[in-house]
Amino acid sequence: MQEPSNTYPRASFFRRLAAMVYDVLVSVAVGMVAAMVMLLVLVILLENGVLDKGTSEHVSDVIQQSVVYKTLIQVWVAVWVLGFFTWFWKNGGQTIGMRAWRLRLFSTNSKSLSYGRVLLRILVSLGGIGTLLVLLDFRNKLALQDRIAQTEMLVLTKDANHHRSWKELQN
């Protein structure tokens, strides 16, 4: 099998941006569901006296006034959103938005994508700002996160984007 970078072109900025918009919508939904689950758990624990409500009568007042509870919810949501990206990138190289736009993440070295490299990629992307480098590096079309994590984002053909082809495209 040929190397993926020799077979498929690297993704343009606008194609990456379209996939990012799609993925932001999905990750917001993931975050909302995660927050709802954590809020439900907190409400049950507070209403049943497992956690102390203090002098507040309503659970919503307790959660809104507590830095600990608000931080717990935010960390919980962040873990789930990061988990969304890391799991999809590690297991198949594509998020839902990337699949819709026929993009796939590949390693540019001989090592397969590990959770560590995927997390590094997320952190150095600076919330997607690192993708702006693709506009400046129009020849190589590599984002900041691609360079640092030694990955590349390629545009697949319709056939290669089908899940049956994933085994052939393993990193």
Query: Residue 77 and residue 114: Cα distance in Å, rounded?
Result: 22
What residue type is assigned to position 78 of the chain?
A
Grouping H, G, I as helix, E, B as strand and the rest as coil, residue 35 is: helix
User: What's the pLDDT tens digit per position in 87-138?
Assistant: 999 998 999 999 999 999 999 998 999 999 999 999 999 988 999 999 999 8
User: What's the pLDDT tens digit per position in 3-56?
Assistant: 576 789 999 999 999 999 999 999 999 999 999 999 999 999 999 999 998 888
The answer to whether the beta carbons of residues 160 and 8 sit under 8 Å apart is: yes
Supply the pTM of this predicted model.
0.85
Contacts of 144 by beta carbon, 8 Å cutoff, 6+ apart: 124, 125, 126, 129, 130, 131, 133
Residue 105 belongs to what H/E stretch? strand 103-107
| Best CA proximity match to 42, nearest among 34, 99, 12 | 34
User: Is the confidence at residue 77, as pLDDT, over 60?
Assistant: yes
User: What's the pLDDT tens digit per position in 130-147?
Assistant: 999 999 998 999 999 999
